């Protein structure tokens, strides 16, 4: 879900970050409170996934903003 949202919401960084936090963090919290070692590891992996997607989302947003601004300057 998070990677798909990155492709569709790269132009709106705040929207992407909100969607990512609201869709994956509750699942990670649920895994962390389950109690087994495997679910704790999965919770840590979910948090890492969110952090890395945030970094990639920021880079994609910067790329889109640069692309749109250069495209608009070419038209002038």
pLDDT of residue 66: 86
Residue with tokens 């704790």: 40
Q: What is the pTM of this model?
A: 0.76
Q: How far apart are CA 12 and CA 17, in angstroms?
A: 9
Residue 39, pLDDT above cutoff 90: yes
Residue 76, pLDDT above cutoff 80: no
């Amino acid at each position: 879900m998070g990677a798909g949202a990155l492709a569709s919401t790269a132009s709106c960084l705040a929207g992407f970050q909100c969607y990512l936090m609201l869709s994956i963090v509750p699942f990670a919290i649920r895994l962390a409170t389950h109690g087994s070692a495997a679910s704790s590891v999965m919770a840590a992996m979910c948090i890492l996934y969110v952090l890395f997607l945030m970094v990639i989302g920021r880079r994609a947003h910067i790329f889109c903003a640069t692309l749109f601004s250069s495209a608009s300057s070419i038209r002038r």
